[in-house]
Amino acid sequence: MHISQHVKDNIYWVGASDRRLALFENMFPLPGGVAYNSYLIMDDKVALVDSVDSAILQVFLENIDHVLSGRSIDYLIVNHMEPDHCDSIDILCSRFPDMKIVGNAKTFQIIRQFYNFDIEGRCHEVKENDTLCLGAHTLKFIFAPMVHWPEVMMTYDMTSKVLFSADAFGTFGALHGNLFADELDFDGFFLDEARRYYTNIVGRYGQQVQQALAKVSGLDIDMICPLHGPVWRKNLPNFIEKYDKWSRYEPEKSGVVIAYASMYGNTENAAAVIAGRLSERGVNDLRMYDVSKTHPSYIIADAFKYSHLIFASPTYNNGLYFAMHSLLHDMAVLNLRGRKVALVGNGSWAPVAHKVMEEMIGRMKDMTLLAPPLVIHSSLKPCQMGEAIALADAVADSVLARIKEKNE
Ligand code: FEO
């Protein structure tokens, strides 16, 4: 049975959620599932704004059939050509032989790269700021390249003041029946997953997100309809402000994320000693992660959220412990910048972890090392407690100063 919902005017949500998929893009854990959104605009001409992943095809088709009530689709607007939104295009083409596909030159190039079905004669190519009149609704196409892929565009319904924002403003997490963000406890339930989604999927492209935000800032927007997660019709500025911060790589909060790697618990112990001292100094809301245990996407999300980062790792094969190397590589690729950092390296006979971490952090933009790395040999000994405390104090001083400066 259909689960479609009315959105606004003659616009309907015809998406669904997948709670079975373990890994988004076969990489990011989805403990709460994921929603794939698609929207039907019922006007003189009928437009479907984006489609869905094949995992939810059945209910998607039932939703469409219910809303169409026998009508046909005139336009399929492809704002984003990633297969989680496009795996059903060939089926839509067979069901609606006269349906035109609306996209830009890159959209059609990528459709042809992924799929073998014939789109000749169906392509309605648009350029930046082109419009498409459906009758009462007029749609305008706003290009947002690299938010998340190069072909991405947003569609603005000038009549209903609805922005179909593609991946932007999306989140991980299945919908639970409530479609609108104001119908659920977004901050308590979705915000962490929205941050994890943004930082890991789009995080690299902060500059392009800023350009897209600048373009849409001039629009009169009543509602944001993303491709994943809830639809926004209230408190839009709050979520837009989060996107603005994330894409400028600005911390949301003063605080410390401690990411450690540890084979036998000794590096973990050094990290715990530092954490204990930070707490003693009045640093609250500490976040401590074992990089071998916690998926990096969660640590990345918190690294975007907080202002200070401590990394502690053993040396391994004359280099850096693999899981820590991978995390720092990921952070560099995602362009994380502007954090205050402290390092702890361990090595039983030839410690180099601290040097490799320092080099990797040094290649990221605007990172500040708050103290010389603490280097331990197999385990933290009483004679080095002073050094550990000094490192923790350097971090605590910096965090507390930031809290004061920001009036947090
Ligand atoms: Fe939801 Fe970039 O695809």
Q: Are residues 351 and 235 in the same domain?
A: no
Q: Are residues 261 and 386 in the same domain?
A: yes
CA distance 307 to 299: 13
HSE at residue 293, side-chain half, CA atoms within 13 A, is 9
Give the list of residues 6+ apart from residue 265 with CB closer than 8 angstroms, or none.
Answer: none
Q: Are residues 291 and 230 in the same domain?
A: no
82 lines ligand 1 (CB under 6 A): yes
Give the position of tokens 């320092």: 358
CA distance 226 to 173: 13
Q: Are residues 163 and 285 in the same domain?
A: no
* Average pLDDT of the chain, as a whole number: 97
Residue 89: closest CA among 56, 52, 123, 64: 52
List, for residues 95-123, the tens digit of each pLDDT value.
999 999 999 999 999 999 999 998 999 99
List, for residues 263-304, the tens digit of each pLDDT value.
999 999 999 999 999 999 999 999 999 999 999 999 999 999
Residue 128 domain flag: yes
Query: Residue 222: what pLDDT?
Result: 97
List, for residues 170-228, the tens digit of each pLDDT value.
999 999 999 999 999 999 989 999 999 999 999 999 999 999 999 999 999 999 999 99
Distance from the CA of 381 to the center of ligand 1, in angstroms? 49
Q: Are residues 84 and 151 in the same domain?
A: yes
Residue 408 domain flag: no
Q: Which residues, in sequence order, are bridge partners of residue 11? A: 8, 41
Residue 372 domain flag: yes
Give the position of tokens 């009549």: 159
Q: Is residue 321 very low, low, confident or very high in pLDDT (cuts 50, 70, 90)? A: very high
34 lines ligand 1 (CB under 6 A): no
CA distance 329 to 389: 28
Q: Are residues 66 and 94 in the same domain?
A: yes
Looking at the CA of residue 148, tell me the nearest atom of ligand 1.
2
Contact call for residues 243 and 213 (beta carbons, < 8 A): yes
Could you give the number of structural domains in the chain? 2
Distance from the CA of 243 to the center of ligand 1, in angstroms? 16
Q: Which residues, in sequence order, are bridge partners of residue 36? A: 16
Contact call for residues 163 and 226 (beta carbons, < 8 A): no
Residue 67 domain flag: yes
DSSP letter string over 346-402?
E-SSS--HHHHHHHHHHTSTT-EE-SPPEEEBSB--GGGHHHHHHHHHHHHHHHHHH
The SS3 call for residue 233 is coil
CA distance 45 to 340: 54
Q: Are residues 314 and 216 in the same domain?
A: no
Residue 407 domain flag: no
Distance from the CA of 359 to the center of ligand 1, in angstroms? 32
Distance from the CA of 254 to the center of ligand 1, in angstroms? 30
Query: Residue 278: what pLDDT?
Result: 98
Query: Residue 203: what pLDDT?
Result: 97
Contact call for residues 246 and 334 (beta carbons, < 8 A): no
Distance from the CA of 18 to the center of ligand 1, in angstroms? 14
Distance from the CA of 82 to the center of ligand 1, in angstroms? 6
Q: Are residues 93 and 220 in the same domain?
A: yes
Residue 252 domain flag: no
Query: Residue 191: what pLDDT?
Result: 97
Q: Which two tokens stand for residue 229?
A: 């997660």
Query: Residue 150: what pLDDT?
Result: 97
Kindly state the helix (H) or strand (E) to which residue 290 belongs, with its residue range.
strand 287-290
Residue 383 domain flag: yes
Looking at the CA of residue 82, tell me the nearest atom of ligand 1.
3
80 lines ligand 1 (CB under 6 A): yes
166 lines ligand 1 (CB under 6 A): no
Q: Is residue 389 very low, low, confident or very high in pLDDT (cuts 50, 70, 90)? A: very high
Q: Are residues 242 and 264 in the same domain?
A: no
Residue 19 domain flag: yes
List, for residues 339-365, the tens digit of each pLDDT value.
999 999 999 999 999 999 999 999 999
Query: Residue 91: what pLDDT?
Result: 96
Q: Is residue 319 very low, low, confident or very high in pLDDT (cuts 50, 70, 90)? A: very high
Query: Residue 148: what pLDDT?
Result: 92
Q: Are residues 192 and 321 in the same domain?
A: no
50 lines ligand 1 (CB under 6 A): no
38 lines ligand 1 (CB under 6 A): no
Mean pLDDT value of segment 156-181: 97
Query: Residue 23: what pLDDT?
Result: 98
Q: Is residue 162 very low, low, confident or very high in pLDDT (cuts 50, 70, 90)? A: very high
Residue type, 301: A
Q: Are residues 66 and 119 in the same domain?
A: yes
Distance from the CA of 37 to the center of ligand 1, in angstroms? 11
Domain end, chosen from 191, 212, 247, is at 247
Domain that holds residue 211: 5-247
Q: Is residue 32 very low, low, confident or very high in pLDDT (cuts 50, 70, 90)? A: very high
CA distance 295 to 293: 7
Domain end, chosen from 219, 247, 275, is at 247
Domain end, chosen from 247, 279, 307, is at 247
CA distance 206 to 366: 15
CA distance 188 to 204: 26
List, for residues 39-55, the tens digit of each pLDDT value.
999 999 999 999 999 99
- The CATH number of the domain holding residue 164 is 3.60.15.10
- Nearest-CA residue for ligand 1 atom 3 is 82
Q: Are residues 364 and 220 in the same domain?
A: no
Query: Residue 61: what pLDDT?
Result: 97
To 5 degrees, how large is the angle CA 246–CA 248–CA 254? 65
- The CATH number of the domain holding residue 324 is 3.40.50.360
- Nearest-CA residue for ligand 1 atom 1 is 167
DSSP 200: I
CA distance 382 to 83: 56
Q: With 0.85 as the threshold, say if the pTM is over it.
A: yes
